[in-house]
Amino acid sequence: MGMTDVHAHLLYGVDDGVSTLDEASKAVSYLESLGVRRMFLTPHIMTDCPNNDATFLKQRFDEFLMQISSKIEFRLAAEYMLDENFAKHLKEEVLSFDSRHMLVETSYLSAPMELDIMIYDIMATGFQPILAHPERYLYMADTKLKQLLARGVKLQLNLLSLAGFYGRGVSMRARTLLLEGKYDFVGTDFHSTKHYERILPNIELKKQEIDAVKLLLENNQNL
Ligand SMILES: [Fe+2]
């Protein structure tokens, strides 16, 4: 109860998340019933979503706020794909959490060739990168993750990774990183109510894991 969610595709009709106002209204009621009280909407900014830039998403977010009535406090951020257009987006207005942290992701197949340069550029621009769901990047070696952490990259766990939604390998890696204290934040990465209702009850956590998730939830409040 009282959760701040730092990762959700609830801004409808702009990416692969919730697609209509009706779906968004139902999702908001569901998330409210789970106890979510504050949410950062993080639509994809990536080459595959060519319309999504700060100006367009801010306009869509204003419409969202006018159409959705809820006790949840909504904020707009974004999930930036580290792809060939990332450098261009970094030069524009950045949809960050708190003018300091920005959410970034990579492809699930491989890291971008210029990953290290991109991380450098983010920091040189004055932002601290939060890498979304690193447990899903099975291509990424633990040594590389450690190197990123040492450079000041923060990691965000997807809640459904713990339920095995993305496979057993991802679930095991998520639990290892969680117990090692490697994560700073936890998010739903909400895309659809149907998925969430089906998968969420499958999360079984040991006491140590519950305690670790609670710490991340507390940290979410700082964004
Ligand atoms: Fe996402």
Task: Check residue 150 and give its pLDDT.
Answer: 97
Rounded distance, CA 167 to CA 10, Å?
Answer: 24
CA–centroid distance for 126 within its chain? 20
Task: Check residue 79 and give its pLDDT.
Answer: 98
Identify the residue whose tokens are 């109860």.
1
Task: Check residue 114 and give its pLDDT.
Answer: 96
Residues 6+ apart with CB under 8 A from 100: 126, 127, 128
Residues 6+ apart with CB under 8 A from 122: 90, 102, 104, 128, 129
The number of distinct structural domains making up the chain is 1
* C-alpha 52 to ligand 1 mean position (Å): 14
Q: Walk along the chain (223 residues) in steps of 10 and give the mean pLDDT of each run.
A: 96 97 97 96 97 97 97 97 97 96 97 96 98 97 96 97 91 97 97 92 93 97 94
* C-alpha 7 to ligand 1 mean position (Å): 6
**How many Cβ atoms sit within 10 Å of the Cβ of residue 71?**
8
* C-alpha 41 to ligand 1 mean position (Å): 10
What is the domain range of residue 135? 3-220
Of 91, 79, 96, residue with least CA distance to 44:
79
Answer whether 158's CB lies under 8 Å from 187's CB. Answer: yes
Three-state SS across the chain? CCEEECCECCCCCCCCCCCCHHHHHHHHHHHHHHCEEEEEECCEECCCCCCCCHHHHHHHHHHHHHHCCCCCEEEECCEEECCCCHHHHHHCCCCCCCCCEEEEECCCCCCCCCHHHHHHHHHHCCCEEEEECHHHCCCCCHHHHHHHHHCCCEEEEEHHHHHCCCCHHHHHHHHHHHHCCCCCEEECCECCHHHHHHHHHHCCCCHHHHHHHHHHHHHHCCC
Task: Check residue 50 and give its pLDDT.
Answer: 96
* C-alpha 150 to ligand 1 mean position (Å): 24
The CATH number that applies at residue 160 is: 3.20.20.140
Residues 6+ apart with CB under 8 A from 147: none
* C-alpha 95 to ligand 1 mean position (Å): 14
Task: Check residue 90 and give its pLDDT.
Answer: 97
* C-alpha 211 to ligand 1 mean position (Å): 24
Rounded distance, CA 152 to CA 48, Å?
Answer: 28
Task: Check residue 158 and give its pLDDT.
Answer: 97
* C-alpha 187 to ligand 1 mean position (Å): 9
Record the pTM.
0.96
Q: What are the angstrom distances between the C-alpha of 40 and each of 3, 7, 50?
A: 11, 6, 21
